[in-house]
Structure 1
């Protein structure tokens, strides 16, 4: 029987390196090196890789090895298509579940981080906002779906981040508008502001990947 804690450790560590682009798209992963890095035997590593393949983060190629999935322009369109459908819907239907205290706390945290302008923490702050909204739905299926989407979205940010520094200030302004509507309980306006934010983020990512 595979040690569940080792399997989860292998999955978590390999996934973290993939989404942070320490393992770059199109690179091959060497099983023996993964075993050494994770400190686990071959079986937990293989089970972790099977799970990551289901999440479209790696491809297992028979007799060739394991390759980190690439990100192409079509992926950006598909990722944001899902986000533009799901996130405004969640705001319209579930944002009222979020207390004013939570909204103010998350807004304050995001403001401090985004004004500092350090890319890595800005990405984390952006995730805080979107995860707050997903959690408000109390729907495990939304959470599972968006966890996979955000993992891919994070890779896009890492790969294109250096080319879209101007988006940090723009993103902050867009976030503040969303919070303003949420705090005023104007959920339809907040949903539309989120949709526009996502459309601008998609365009910036596409332009960065093409430049």
Structure 2
């Protein structure tokens, strides 16, 4: 079988020419499946989960992706356990998007692995590249955030709503803005506050049973 040079270049993060990728390695099937997911009645959660499991390259046992969802290929996306993505998220997965466990994603978040040369004469030749995105465990990404090619978001971190993440996010931090910057670290004050809030919640819940 002839080697699919362009597809291999794409996954390697090198320049490639998308129209020359072999049809069997193309993005059409993923886009068609995403379209089916988006047309499925929202109450049919089991069917939606089954189709997303087929769409993505790897999934955990427990997850939910709230339609509509948009992909380039779909099969280059990997999600861990207890993943949730709210509506209107976009996975432009010309390279890998690898997401860990216990990750929550707000509405209209974009994961963009695709990039283009900065030199205009090369860019107009329709050569492009893709760099992988990694989201580590226990990350929360706020609505309308944008994660750009090559970024790693470290574990336990929070990406604020509307942030444009252009570089790696350190573990245990809150970032926001355009371009996103570290606002502060997540610390023991957060832990004590939210443990107290959770205790109050369960106390109130027990009183109301």
Give me the TM-score of the superposition, normalised by structure 1: 0.25
Which structure shows the higher strand fraction?
Answer: 2
Determine which structure has the larger helix proportion and give its number.
Answer: 1
Higher relative contact order (CA 8 A, sep 6+): 1
User: TM-score, normalized by length of structure 2?
Assistant: 0.25
